[in-house]
């Protein structure tokens, strides 16, 4: 069910579990016998390393456009595995877990939190990891409260130790008289109604967007996650240590913990950064500026680049079809500019683009999956130069390249640009 990055000579097009630069539809129906050993390399012309359109139309007619929109390396870049659930293609246990949970939820008919944005509601909150984990368990219904333990046939008293009612997650955190007093006295801008039935998702998303009143001093983060943490720890202290806390004690502990954690993050972020090594740019370097224009409807792109040398400026245009995104169009423009600079025999070059994402990819060893083949060829070509570097420039300083790119797009498709 996968496609390789680069030329894909060793990756089976039908059976590999890792996908590459584009998620393609899995072939439907039984696999034809003649395609059982088919590899991505079989879909490339051996001489040019470009897609063999006749072969693709024969084997994958329904996926032809998606396949042709992938831009493989033409200079022999090695194959590389990408994890499609992240932008940089790097697998981590966290992203693997998130993908597994997402897959599980897709298989379930009854999704208890189908509208919850777990990233916004949990993992992106400015709070401690231990609090995020507690929130995740809370919203997934995985807290070991009395009701949950009773459902697991554990022989315990399932009643709330403060009021004697059945201890559910909603009861513990919101409906119990103790929790009600905690939220009533918590210094938040807006009060929320805890009477009647509580929608845990809607209530939580409203709480994290509820700012803290001055002069508590919690501006950058949220107080609500720490209130949840303090209520839970107070409950455990009562059960296991027989220690009684008042609502004011809970609020005070939550505020102190929140401020301590936020202050620690600010100190960490304010540490002096190690200065980057300064690059000595040769005084006679040629400056090459690139830009691209892209049509979402036709998937065509126009590209333009200018080569500035001492006393001379050269302008170039080009176009490409089946381009999947504006970022790919920008990368293709840079690729053609590097290729032309090499053909002209330039040795000291400064490549400039107004695409910050492209420049970041070129200056690091991690790039978006859709750019791998293009960026790999750019890096290989740059080995030809004595000196080369990639720099970002503001859009207003790239107006001539923008004009060339839009003009080229109009020629190839006559459409509007984005």
Query: What is the reported pTM?
Result: 0.58
- Looking at the chain, the domain(s) classified CATH 3.30.420.10 span 286-412
Structure tokens of 132?
């995020």
Residue 265 confidence class, pLDDT cut points 50, 70, 90: confident
Beta bridge partners of 350: 287, 389
Q: Which residue has the tokens 């009060």?
A: 191
pLDDT digits (tens, 9 = 90+) for 130-180: 999 999 999 888 999 999 999 999 999 999 999 999 999 999 999 999 999
Query: In CATH, which of 3.30.950.10, 3.40.1350.10, 3.30.230.10, 3.30.420.10 is domain 286-412?
Result: 3.30.420.10
The answer to whether residues 18 and 82 touch, using CB atoms and an 8 Å cutoff, is: yes
Q: Report the alpha-carbon distance of residue 318 to residue 332 in Å, rounded.
A: 10
Q: Tell me, what's the pLDDT at 115?
A: 53
Q: Tell me, what's the pLDDT at 30?
A: 58
Judge residue 253's burial from the number of C-beta atoms within 10 Å of its C-beta, 0-12 exposed, 13-18 middle, 19 or more buried: middle
SS3 211: coil
pLDDT digits (tens, 9 = 90+) for 32-90: 666 677 888 888 888 878 898 888 888 888 888 888 888 888 888 888 888 888 877 88
Q: Tell me, what's the pLDDT at 278?
A: 61
**178-184: Cβ within 8 A, 24+ apart:** 178/247, 179/231, 181/247, 182/227, 182/230, 182/231, 182/247, 182/250, 182/251, 183/227, 184/247
SS3 205: helix
């Amino acid at each position: 069910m996968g496609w390789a990055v680069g030329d894909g000579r060793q990756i089976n097009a039908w059976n590999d579990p890792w996908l590459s630069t584009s998620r393609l539809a899995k072939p439907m129906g039984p696999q034809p016998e003649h395609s059982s050993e088919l590899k991505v390399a079989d879909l490339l012309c051996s001489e040019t390393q470009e897609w063999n359109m006749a072969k693709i139309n024969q084997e994958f007619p329904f996926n032809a456009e998606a396949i042709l929109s992938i831009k493989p390396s033409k200079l022999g870049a090695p194959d590389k595995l990408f994890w499609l659930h992240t932008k940089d293609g790097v697998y981590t246990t966290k992203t693997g877990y998130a993908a597994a949970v997402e897959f599980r939820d897709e298989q379930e008919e009854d999704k208890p939190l189908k509208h919850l944005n777990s990233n916004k509601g949990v993992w992106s909150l400015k709070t401690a990891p231990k609090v995020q984990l507690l929130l995740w368990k809370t919203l997934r219904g995985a807290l070991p409260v009395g009701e949950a333990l009773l459902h697991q046939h554990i022989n315990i008293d399932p009643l709330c130790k403060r009021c004697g009612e059945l201890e559910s997650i909603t009861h513990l955190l919101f409906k119990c008289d103790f929790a009600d007093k905690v939220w009533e006295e918590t210094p938040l801008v807006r009060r929320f109604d805890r009477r009647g039935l509580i929608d845990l998702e809607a209530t939580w998303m409203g709480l994290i967007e509820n700012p803290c009143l001055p002069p508590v001093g919690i501006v950058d983060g949220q107080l609500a996650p720490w209130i949840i943490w303090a209520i839970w720890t107070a409950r455990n202290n009562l059960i296991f240590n027989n220690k009684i806390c008042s609502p004011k004690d809970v609020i005070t502990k939550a505020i102190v913990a929140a401020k301590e954690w936020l202050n620690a993050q600010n100190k960490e972020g304010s540490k002096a950064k190690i200065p980057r090594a300064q690059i000595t740019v040769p005084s006679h370097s040629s400056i090459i500026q690139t830009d691209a224009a892209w049509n979402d409807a036709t998937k065509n792109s126009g590209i333009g680049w200018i080569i500035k040398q001492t006393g001379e400026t050269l302008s170039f245009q080009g176009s490409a079809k089946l381009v999947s995104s504006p970022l790919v169009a920008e990368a293709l423009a840079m690729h053609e500019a590097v290729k032309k600079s090499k053909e002209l025999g330039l040795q000291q070059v400064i490549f400039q683009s107004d695409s910050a994402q492209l420049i970041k990819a070129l200056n690091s060893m991690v790039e978006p999956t859709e750019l791998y083949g293009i960026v790999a060829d750019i890096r290989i070509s740059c080995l030809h130069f004595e000196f080369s570097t990639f720099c970002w420039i503001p859009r207003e300083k790239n107006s001539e390249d923008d004009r060339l790119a839009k003009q080229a797009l109009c020629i190839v498709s006559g459409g509007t640009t984005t």
